């Protein structure tokens, strides 16, 4: 069982920030990454539609005989995690809970900001997760729909991104947050821009890093770490790979190879 791969899925390239951290932290693990690029994005779609897509993506990975599922997409994690756990008899890790736990550990003034897609913010999943851990923490959230296209355009540090971030973050800063959860797997690419706008007084919580640590902990707890080194990553996408390879390469910081197109619907 421990020799099996870990399945990771996202609507597209965003989850590659989580994958990158997993490769760094868990170099011995085999990974199977699925990007649902024919139906990307999930962040503007309804919970019911995202749930359907997430169940189809997970079913594909389960067919690949993975030992664990990582939902490397905040929108899917926010609406589908419980159903995925009920439907499939293997451990499922989402990105919300790890980010929420870190935010609660880091904040000193108990004023936490959360940014994400329209779908993630509308779900209220981070607010619930953070307040379940510590009801005295106040959560201020803001959807930032332009951050995903800015990151995919390669404009994460462009003046347009800075101007956009100033507008989106102004209400959170007025509320005096000392911690900001990057509640979308695209947002780690915007870290420099966010730091520029927020200054040094606000800690950034990167779900990608936290999720990888959660995966490591679960593997160890269930005696599932792979023993042989090194692990490989296989990539699957639902649209032709051209754009995934181009944009995804920028996300991973190296070129992407061995990408196969599959159909989920």
Binding site for a copy of itself (CB under 8 A): 37-40, 44-46, 48-49, 118, 145-146, 148-150, 152-153, 155, 158-160, 163-164, 167, 239-240, 242-243, 265
| Residue tagged active-site, from 23, 68, 184, 198 | 184
Q: Which tokens hold the place of 196?
A: 């520029």
Give least dist CB 117 to a copy of itself, A: 11
As measured in angstroms, the least distance from the Cβ of 235 to a copy of itself is: 16
Q: Is 160 helix (H, G, I), strand (E, B) or coil?
A: helix
Distance CA(36)–CA(76), nearest Å, equals: 12
Q: How far is the CB of 115 from a copy of itself (least distance, A)?
A: 14
Q: How far is the CB of 69 from a copy of itself (least distance, A)?
A: 23
C-alpha to C-alpha distance for 78 and 188, rounded to whole angstroms: 18
d(Cα 224, Cα 4) in Å, to the nearest integer?
9
Which strands sit side by side in the sheet containing 6-10, from one edge to the other? Answer: 92-93, 68-71, 6-10, 31-35, 233-237, 259-261
Cross-strand bridge partners of residue 205: 181
| Least Å from the CB of residue 37 to a copy of itself | 7
Closest to a copy of itself by CB, 51 vs 198, is: 51
- Cβ-based neighbour number of residue 149 at 10 Å: 11
Report the candidate in 58, 48, 43 with the shortest Cα–Cα distance to residue 12.
43
Is 73 one of the catalytic residues? yes
| Residue matched to tokens 């100033």 | 166
The H-or-E segment that residue 71 falls in is strand 68-71
Q: Which is nearer to a copy of itself, 77 or 164 (CB)?
A: 164
CB closer to a copy of itself, 92 vs 259: 259
Residue with smaller CB distance to a copy of itself, 163 or 170: 163
Catalytic residue among 6, 31, 73, 197: 73
Q: Which is nearer to a copy of itself, 105 or 262 (CB)?
A: 262
CA distance 66 to 125: 26
Q: Which residues does the annotation mark as catalytic?
A: 73, 184
């Amino acid at each position: 069982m421990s020799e099996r791969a870990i399945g990771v899925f996202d609507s597209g390239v965003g989850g590659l920030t989580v994958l990158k951290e997993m490769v760094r932290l868990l170099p011995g693990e085999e990974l199977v990454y699925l990007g649902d690029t024919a139906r990307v994005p999930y962040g503007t779609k309804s919970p019911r539609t995202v749930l359907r897509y997430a169940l189809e993506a997970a079913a594909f990975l389960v067919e690949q005989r993975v030992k664990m599922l990582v939902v490397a997409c905040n929108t899917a994690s926010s609406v589908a995690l419980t159903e995925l756990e009920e439907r499939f008899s293997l451990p499922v890790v989402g990105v919300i809970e790890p980010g929420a736990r870190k935010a609660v550990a880091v904040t000193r003034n108990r004023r936490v900001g959360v940014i994400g897609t329209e779908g993630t913010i509308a779900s209220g999943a981070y607010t619930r997760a953070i307040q379940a851990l510590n009801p005295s923490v106040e959560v201020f959230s803001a959807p930032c729909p332009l951050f995903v296209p800015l990151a995919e355009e390669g404009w994460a540090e462009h003046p347009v991104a800075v101007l956009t971030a100033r507008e989106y973050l102004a209400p959170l800063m007025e509320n005096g947050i000392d911690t900001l959860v990057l509640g979308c797997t695209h947002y780690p690419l915007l870290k420099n821009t966010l730091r520029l706008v927020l200054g040094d007084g606000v800690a950034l919580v990167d779900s990608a890093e936290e999720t990888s640590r959660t995966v490591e902990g679960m593997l160890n707890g269930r005696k599932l770490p792979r023993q042989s080194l090194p692990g490989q990553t296989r990539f699957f996408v639902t649209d032709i790979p051209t754009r995934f390879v181009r944009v995804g390469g920028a996300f991973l910081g190296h070129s992407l190879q061995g990408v196969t197109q599959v159909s989920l619907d």
